[in-house]
Every structure is written in C-alpha cells, then in structure tokens.
Amino acid sequence: MTGWDNHQAKFVPTAEDYAQLEKENEKLKKFFAEQAIERDILKDILKKRTLT
C-alpha cells in the first residue's frame, strides 16, 4: 500500500445522496420511456409510408 492510498478520501453516501439518485433515476426512466414511444411512433409512420 502506498502513502497515497492512506490519504484518499472515501465517499460515504448519505440518505440525501440516495434520494437524489432515486430522483434522477426516475427522471431518466421517464425520458427513456418517452424516447421509446417516439421511436415506435416513427417506426409506424415509416411503415405506413412504405406500404402506401
């Protein structure tokens, strides 16, 4: 073990940190769901255009 290892700060997450992560996770899940819906809509539009 080097001297640097002894001086490295350790991050200890708090309940507030977890709450922030949960909030961001929900935001990302919602964003991902919206993107998936938009992608499906665009696929349907393209499919209808190629059939016509």
Question: pTM (2 decimals)?
Answer: 0.65
Query: Which pLDDT does position 4 carry in this prediction?
Result: 60
Residues 15-27 pLDDT 10s: 999 999 999 999 9
pLDDT digits over 26-51, tens only?
Answer: 999 999 999 999 999 999 999 998 87
Give the per-residue pLDDT at 8: 72
Residue 1 has pLDDT above 60, yes or no: no
| Whole-number Å distance between alpha carbons of 22 and 40 | 27
- What's the pLDDT at 38? 98
